[in-house]
Amino acid sequence: FFFAYRRSSDTSNMGKNISKEKMEEYKKTIKGKFDEKEIKHMYKLFHKAAPTGKMGKKEFKKYIEDLAIFKKVDSQESYDQLFRGYDRDADGTITFKEYLEYHLGIVFSEPDELFDIVFSMYDADGNGYITRDELIEVVTNSTRWMGDCDVESKDVQDLIQAEVDKIVIFADVNKDGQISKEELYAAYEKHPEILEKLKNLA
C-alpha cells in the first residue's frame, strides 16, 4: 500500500506560510497526530504538486511519479485507486484537508479515516459495493507497481485470486457476490485487522 508522507528529521524551511487559524484547523483535522513542522512539510509537498490548492488526476499522477516509490510504472498509469483513497468527497480533486485525512488514516490507522479510504480504493465504480473483480483489480495493480512479482504469471494470479476469495468469503455475509459498507464494517468490528490487510494489499 502506498502513502506519500515520509517522516523526516530535516524539517528546516519546510512549507509556505500557514495562517494561525488554518494551522489550528489542520491540527484538528489530524487529531494532533502530526506536529506543526510535519504539517508544514506536507503543505509544501502538496502545494508543489498543486499550486492552486486542488490536485486533479493529472497533478496527482505527476506527484506519485515524482516520489519514485514504485519500481514498475507505465506511462499510461493513472493510479485511480490511490486517487480515490485521497479524494474523500469523490469530486475529482484532492484538497489539502483530504491529503491530511489520507495520511492520518494510513500512517496512524485511525479507524474512521482508514475505513473510508480503504472502501473508496476498492469501490472502483463508486456504487457502494466492492466486487470480487474490483478486489482483484486493485490487488493486481498494487502488486504490479511494487515490481517484485510478474502479475502475468499464472502462479501470481492464482495467489491474488486466492487472497481475494478469502476476503469475499469472510466479509460477504449475504453471499450476493459483493461487499457492502455495512458488511465490511461488521467484519471490521469483529476482526479489526481486516482493514490493515486490505490497506496492505491495495
pLDDT at 37: 94
Candidates 94, 85, 96, 100; CA nearest to 195 is: 85
What 8-state DSSP symbol labels residue 83?
Answer: H
Nine cell digits for residue 123: 469501490
In DSSP notation, 45-68 reads HHHHH-TTSEE-HHHHHHHHHHHT
pTM of the model: 0.88
pLDDT at 16: 61
d(CA 82, CA 67): 14
Q: Alpha-carbon torsion 97, 109, 117, 190, what sign?
A: negative
pLDDT at 9: 42
Nine cell digits for residue 168: 469475499
Residues composing the chain: 202
pLDDT at 70: 87
Nine cell digits for residue 105: 488514516
Nine cell digits for residue 189: 468490528
Q: Alpha-carbon torsion 120, 121, 123, 125, what sign?
A: positive
Nine cell digits for residue 134: 474490483
Intra-chain end-to-end CA distance of the chain, in Å: 5
- pLDDT by position in tens, the chain (length 202): 444 544 444 444 444 689 999 999 999 999 999 999 999 999 999 999 999 999 999 999 999 999 888 887 777 888 999 999 999 999 999 999 999 999 999 999 999 999 999 999 999 999 999 999 999 999 999 999 988 899 999 999 999 999 999 999 999 999 999 999 999 999 999 999 999 999 999 8
CA 150 to chain centre: 23
- Residue showing cell 489539502: 96
What three-state secondary structure class fits 195?
helix
